[in-house]
Structure 1
Amino acid sequence: MDFPARVKQQSCMDCLSGQSLGFDIRMAFQPIIDWQRQEVFAYEALVRGPDGQGAGWVFERITDDNKYYFDQSCRVKAIETASRLGCDKLLSINFLPNAVYNPETCIRATIEASTLFGFDLRKIIFEVTEGEQILSQDKLRRIFESYARHGFLTAIDDFGAGFAGLDWLHSLKPAILKLDMSLIRDIHRDPAKQQRLAEVQRICHELGALILAEGIEVEEERDFLVNAGVRYLQGYLFARPALEHLAGRDEINGWR
């Protein structure tokens, strides 16, 4: 896609205005917990519509023409909202690799927003969903490498549902691997899923990558994962996403 010059010069305030996107967006946040330390590890920023409409409502309005603006706007809105809410944990932001035409250029608004709103760049996690159609694996690797150079953490979301096999993890070298809920569901009584988890844990140990299990809904799933050595957990068992709110520890369920 050939991006015009005005796109390349977009500032973080342009992203916040919603003018380039065509509608306003807001952010909901879901906590990711550190089971070992019994505290919040990070918050994942999840896009919502102007009146709190779900992500489906938003994505119905995303086209090839506004995908770049959407990707940039989500980053800036997540940083601005998290900073306003006093976030002092890691902030996980989803990004669309197919909307990134040049990693170094596309990251400028993120850096500008972090400076403007006083949010530490080293606390940002950029995660790509494995379910997205990746047009170029080499391009995604270059994006990950660029983000790592800037001090961002990188993550693969929904692992087990899409493009990335275990071998490709060696190329991407993500800091965090988020296991898809299809792998987590009923893992406590599914030997095949348990074996798959063990394989992923072995690779992540070699790479020095953290494993995060998402989509946890029942205590039995949580207990199996914890006993298997999975430290970082996320799911409805603990808390649902909350619009423009960071759930504190006393609002989170499913602790010991």
Structure 2
Amino acid sequence: MNKTPSCSSCRDGKALDFDISMAFQPIVDVAGRQLFAYEALVRGPARESAGSLLSKLNADNLYAFDQSCRIKAIEWAAKLQIPAMVSINFMPNAVYQPETCIRATLDAAQRYNFPLNRIIFEVTEQEQVLDIDHLTGILRAYRKQGFMTAIDDFGAGYAGLNLLADFQPDLIKLDMGLIRNIDQDHVRQVLVEATLDICRKLNIRVIAEGIESAAELHALQAMGVELFQGYLLAKPGFQTLPTVNYPPER
């Protein structure tokens, strides 16, 4: 799935032959006790995991899956009346021409009356994208349309600082491998502090994802992180918006 599809393969590819639904996990400004966004996470209609769905993908249905996820995320975001941004994951290897592949997203937003300025397009750095120019072209096209952009799993993928040199997204999400037990790990603290300094200078907001303990959260707050996502705050809600469990203030 590393080869970007051509126009004909997207047009003539098979329709998605399995159903999908969505779960939502909040991204919050903990200090301000405010919702920033909900990430839309693909699930099966009977709560099947994302992994079980991704295992069904091939060259014929990759494009249909990516498009279906975008539309389903907007449909459920509108149905649940999400009061914040919604972050939608996309697969760059499924996008052949950004301006063409975005049409279904624009149509869905209009159909479900969901504001375009509340959509974030998020790409994981862990997906191997052999053509970085193709990825940055997609991100630039989405920004031109007025969407916010985010890089997920930053620090664990194939591009890293090289990607930031070519394109500066609105947001990056620190990989949970850097977050885990950061309150006890000096090396992780140094690496995250250096990343935060870069992001401040480039005017990129940082989200710490995978937060599982109050100690991790407090350590990152002390470094200047404001936005958080993880089981400590809320697990993903299947077809619902889970309640945020804000930790007690210190």
TM-score range, shorter chain: over 0.9
Q: 1:237 aligns with which of 229, 232, 240?
A: 232
Deviations 1:165-190 (A, max 9, x none): 22431312110000000000011111
Deviations 1:20-42 (A, max 9, x none): 21011000000111123111110
For structure 1, which segment, 175-184 or 240-249, has the greater mean C-alpha deviation from structure 2 after superposition?
240-249
CA distance in 1, matches of 2:8, 2:158: 30
Q: Which runs of 5+ in 1 are unaligned?
A: 11-18
What's the counterpart of residue 163 of structure 1? Answer: 158
For structure 1, which segment, 98-107 or 53-62, has the greater mean C-alpha deviation from structure 2 after superposition?
53-62
CA distance in 1, matches of 2:9, 2:210: 40
CA distance in 1, matches of 2:202, 2:11: 36
Matched, 1:151 2:146: yes
CA distance in 1, matches of 2:248, 2:84: 19
What's the counterpart of residue 2 of structure 1? Answer: 6
Match for 1:92: what amino acid?
Answer: S
CA distance in 2, matches of 1:88, 1:39: 11
RMSD: 1.7
For structure 1, which segment, 19-28 or 233-242, has the greater mean C-alpha deviation from structure 2 after superposition?
19-28
Query: Partner of 1:169: helix, strand, or coil?
Result: helix
Judged with a 3 Å threshold, the aligned counterparts in structure 2 of structure 1 residues 4 and 50 are, in CA distance, closer, same or farther, namely same
Deviations 1:170-220 (A, max 9, x none): 312110000000000011111111111111111111211100000010110
Superposition map of 1:178-189 within 5 A: 178-189=173-184
Q: Percent identity?
A: 48
What's the counterpart of residue 141 of structure 1? Answer: 136
What's the counterpart of residue 76 of structure 1? Answer: 71
Superposition map of 1:1-256 within 5 A: 1-4=5-8, 7=11, 20-249=15-244, 252-256=245-249
Instruction: Check the 8 A contact 1:38/1:255 in 2, yes or no.
Output: no
CA distance in 1, matches of 2:167, 2:139: 7
The list of structure 1 runs, each at least 4 consecutive aligned residues, that deviate by more than 4 angstroms after superposition, is: none
**TM superposition score normalised by structure 1:** 0.92
CA distance in 1, matches of 2:62, 2:220: 36
Q: Which runs of 5+ in 2 are unaligned?
A: none
Query: Partner of 2:42: helix, strand, or coil?
Result: strand
CA distance in 2, matches of 1:6, 1:67: 9
CA distance in 1, matches of 2:77, 2:23: 10
**TM superposition score normalised by structure 2:** 0.94
Deviations 1:6-62 (A, max 9, x none): 738x9xxxxxxxx92101100000011112311111000000012110111111111
What's the counterpart of residue 14 of structure 1? Answer: none
Instruction: Check the 8 A contact 1:97/1:134 in 2, yes or no.
Output: yes
